[in-house]
């Protein structure tokens, strides 16, 4: 069975199955911030392509040939995927996921598609196959905007808790990042206006233009230090754990709290669906939540009457 994996987290489970011929696509380069949660990479691998390094390591250890594709997902065409039996998406880019969904739905071959996403302590796994709803049918569920009711510094301090710390740090990151891009020096005594002036707008801004946080740029060091000092001042008065550079880097890169254990749970849910992909099931969507208590729900999602892809089936 030919499997294309977009993202590398699932590989550690798939390599245990001899019947799978695996191709990996991960266009990202390895950064120092990856090393805390992805044990497949070492410090010497920083700056190299994830898929290339992982396949090289596996080929040196296994009597199998693992292949990789080093290209942007959005550049894939129908002929690039038509020989695969299953495509698995572990991407954090919604546009890329919709692109794969489009290619699969247009392909003559019946390719199984498994899409997985993580948000905080929540996981979803969506199975797309012939006759079932696709990602475009449920596109409204892929809304990544965060809206908070915090409006003033007083409200921030009143609502600061272990559940809101991620959003508070993110707001500081956005504000100080704008200063960093202007090559300004900062201190916590010279904030760009109130800490949370229009916080909800800050949190919904496009963060796709990431600054190079792993570089040695002096402005970046100042940026991280300013976020750390300001948040820790708030944390101290609210009896919360202070932040550090590692947490700030993780939040800026949108990788926290998607740490080892939540990624492993997602990989396990996907793996279970792969093993039973051809069986008839009464569900095509799995939702896992462990924010306050642990529970899992399974649904059968209906096709959308307005889906231009499914209505062509």
Digit-coded pLDDT (tens) for 263-274: 889 999 999 999
- pLDDT band for position 155 (cuts 50, 70, 90): very low
The distance from CA 23 to its chain's CA centroid, rounded to whole angstroms, is 20
Is the model more confident about 13 or about 193?
13
Q: What is the mean pLDDT of the chain?
A: 77
- pLDDT band for position 160 (cuts 50, 70, 90): low
DSSP code string of 64-76: S--EEE-S-GGG-
Query: Which residues, at least 6 apart from 117, have a Cβ–Cβ distance to it below 8 Å?
Result: 92, 97, 123, 124, 142
Q: Which of 171, 301, 144, 308 shows the shortest CA–CA distance to 248? A: 171
Per-residue pLDDT, averaged over 115-121, amounts to: 87
Query: Which residues, at least 6 apart from 280, have a Cβ–Cβ distance to it below 8 Å?
Result: none
Say what the pLDDT of residue 81 is: 93
Q: Which of 208, 187, 185 shows the shortest CA–CA distance to 254? A: 208
- Strand, helix or coil at 275? helix
Contact 222, 180 (CB under 8 A): yes
- Count of H helices and E strands in the chain? 10, 8
Is the model more confident about 201 or about 125?
125
In the predicted structure, residue 224 carries a pLDDT above the cut 70:
yes
Q: In the chain, where does the domain assigned CATH 3.40.50.720 lie?
A: 5-145+257-299
Say what the pLDDT of residue 200 is: 39
Query: Which residues, at least 6 apart from 196, have a Cβ–Cβ distance to it below 8 Å?
Result: 150, 151, 152, 153, 155, 156, 171, 202
Pick the CATH number of 5-145+257-299 from 3.40.50.300, 3.20.20.70, 1.20.1050.10, 3.40.50.720: 3.40.50.720
Say what the pLDDT of residue 205 is: 43
Question: What proportion of the chain, given as a percentage, has pLDDT over 90?
Answer: 26
Q: What is the pLDDT of residues 241-290, one digit of tens each?
A: 888 887 887 777 765 445 678 888 999 999 999 999 988 888 999 999 98
Say what the pLDDT of residue 62 is: 63
Per-residue pLDDT, averaged over 26-42, amounts to: 74
- pLDDT band for position 77 (cuts 50, 70, 90): very high
- pLDDT band for position 176 (cuts 50, 70, 90): confident
Is the model more confident about 270 or about 189?
270
- Quote the crossing angle between the two packed helices 165-181 and 218-237, to the nearest 10°: 150
């Amino acid at each position: 069975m030919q499997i294309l994996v977009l993202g590398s987290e699932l590989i550690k489970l798939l390599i245990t199955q001899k019947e799978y011929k695996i191709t990996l696509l991960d266009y990202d380069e390895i950064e120092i911030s990856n090393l805390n949660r992805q044990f497949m990479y070492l410090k010497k691998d920083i700056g190299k392509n994830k898929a290339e390094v992982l396949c090289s390591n596996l080929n040196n250890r296994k009597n199998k040939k693992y292949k990789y594709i080093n290209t942007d997902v959005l550049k894939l065409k129908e002929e690039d995927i038509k020989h695969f039996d299953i495509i698995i998406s572990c991407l954090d880019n919604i546009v890329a996921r919709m692109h794969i969904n489009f290619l699969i739905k247009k392909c003559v071959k019946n390719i199984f598609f498994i899409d997985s996403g993580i948000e905080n302590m929540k996981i979803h796994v969506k199975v797309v196959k012939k006759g079932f709803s696709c990602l475009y049918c449920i596109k409204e569920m892929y809304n990544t905007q965060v809206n908070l009711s915090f409006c003033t510094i007083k409200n921030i301090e009143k609502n600061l808790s272990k559940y809101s710390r991620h959003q508070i740090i993110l707001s500081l990151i956005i504000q100080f990042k704008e200063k960093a891009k202007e090559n300004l020096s900062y201190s916590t005594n010279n904030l760009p206006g109130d800490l949370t002036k229009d916080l909800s707008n800050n949190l919904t801004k496009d963060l796709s233009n990431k600054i190079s946080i792993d570089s040695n740029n002096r402005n970046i060091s100042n940026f991280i230090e300013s976020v750390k000092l300001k948040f820790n001042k708030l944390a101290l008065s609210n009896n919360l754990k202070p932040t550090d550079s590692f947490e700030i880097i993780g939040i800026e890169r949108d990788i926290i709290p998607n740490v080892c254990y939540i990624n492993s749970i997602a990989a396990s849910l996907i793996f279970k669906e792969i093993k039973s992909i051809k069986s008839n099931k009464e569900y095509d969507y799995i939702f896992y939540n462990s924010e306050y208590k642990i529970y899992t729900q399974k649904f059968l999602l209906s096709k959308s009457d307005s889906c231009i892809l499914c209505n062509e089936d």
